[in-house]
Structure 1
Amino acid sequence: MTVPRRFLPSIASLRALEALDRLGSASAAAGELALTQGAVSRQLQALERQIGVELILRDGKALSLTPEASAYADDIRQALDRVAQATLKLQSAPLAGSLNLAILPAFGMRWLMPRLPEFSRRYPDVTINMSTRLGPFNFASEAFDAAIHFGHADWPGTDALLLKQEQLLPVCAPGLLGRTQVKKPADLLELPLLHIQTRPKAWADWFARQAVPVDGNLTGTTYDQFSTINQAALHGLGVALMPDYLVEQDLATGRLMSLHHQAEDIGGAYYLVWPRSKARNAGLMQFREWLSGQAQPEDPLPR
Structure 2
Amino acid sequence: MRRPDLPPLGTLQPFEATVRHTSMTAAARELHVTHGAVSRQIRSLERALGVELFVRGPRTLTPTPAAHRLAAVVRDALDRIDTAAREIARRPPAGPLTLSCEPTLLMRWLIPRLPDLARHAPDVTVHLSAAGGPVHFERDGIDLAIRRDDFPFAPDTHSVPLFAEYIGPVHRPGAPHADVLLHTATRPGAWADWHERTGRAAPPAASEQTLEHFSLTLQAAVAGVGTAIGPYALVHDDLERGTLTAPYGFVADGTAYHLLGRRPLDDDPRTAAVADWLRTRATEPANA
- TM-score interval w.r.t. the shorter chain? 0.5 to 0.7
Contact 2:171/2:224 (<8 A) preserved? no
State the distance in 2 between where 1:158 and 1:15 align. Answer: 21
1:202 and 2:202 matched: no
Asked if 1:163 is matched to 2:163, the reply is: yes
> Partner of 2:109 in structure 1?
111
Output the CA distance in 1 between the equivalents of 2:12 and 2:142.
Answer: 22
Residues of 1 paired with 2:21 and 2:252: CA distance? 51
* 1:128 maps onto 2:116 in alignment: no
Secondary structure at 2:145's aligned position in 1? strand
Equivalent in the alignment of 1:302: 287
Residue 259 (structure 2) aligns with? 273
Shift of 1:104: 1.6
Against the structure 1 CA distance between its residues 286 and 192, is the aligned structure 2 distance closer, same or farther, given a 3 Å change threshold?
A: closer
User: How far apart, CA to CA, are the structure 2 residues paired with 1:152 and 1:20?
Assistant: 27
| Contact 1:9–1:47 under 8 Å retained in 2 | no
For 2:202 and 2:17, the matched residues in 1 are separated by 62
1:6 aligns with 2:7: yes
Q: Alpha carbons of 1:124 and 1:276: their partners in 2 closer, same or farther (altered >3 Å)?
A: same
Residues 230, 240 of structure 1: 8 Å contact kept: yes
Alignment of 1:72-83 (within 5 A): 72=67
Are 1:242 and 2:230 an aligned pair? yes
Shift of 1:204: 0.9
* Cα distance between partner residues in 2 of 1:109 and 1:143: 21
2:214 corresponds to 1:226: yes
Whole-Å Cα distance in 2 between the matches of residues 301 and 250 of structure 1?
A: 12
What secondary structure does 2:230 align onto? Answer: strand
* Aligned counterpart, 1:187: none
The CA deviation at 1:48 is: 2.6
SS of the equivalent of 1:207 reads helix
DSSP 3-state at the match of 1:10: helix
The residue that corresponds to 2:200 in the other structure is 211
RMSD of aligned Cα (Å):
5.4
CA distance in 2, matches of 1:129, 1:35: 30
Greater gyration radius = 1
Q: Is the 8 A contact 2:55 2:61 kept in 1?
A: yes
- Structure-to-structure mapping, 1:43-122, within 5 angstroms: 43-54=41-52, 72=67, 94-95=91-92, 99-122=97-120
The whole-number CA distance in structure 2 between the counterparts of 1:8 and 1:268 is: 46
Task: Determine the C-alpha separation between the residues in 1 that align with 2:134 and 2:151.
Answer: 13
Listed as ranges, the gaps of 5+ residues in structure 2 are: none
Could you tell me which residue of structure 2 aligns to residue 261 of structure 1?
A: 247
Q: 1:229 to 1:124 in 2, by over 3 A?
A: same
Change (3 A) 1:127 1:56: closer
TM-score, length basis structure 1: 0.58
TM-score, length of structure 2 as denominator length: 0.60
Q: Contact 2:149 / 2:258 at 8 angstroms: preserved in 1? A: no
SS of the equivalent of 2:128 reads strand
Separation of aligned partners in 1, 2:162 and 2:276: 12
2:275 maps to 1:288: yes
What secondary structure, in the 3-state scheme, does the structure 1 residue paired with 2:7 have? helix
> Residue 100 of structure 2: SS of its match in structure 1?
strand
Aligned residue pairs total 263
Q: Per-residue CA shift, 1:67-86, capped at 9, x if unaligned? A: 55599489969x88x979x9
| Deviation sequence 1:142-180 (CA, Å, 0-9, x none) | 765543222489966755343364343243795646xxx
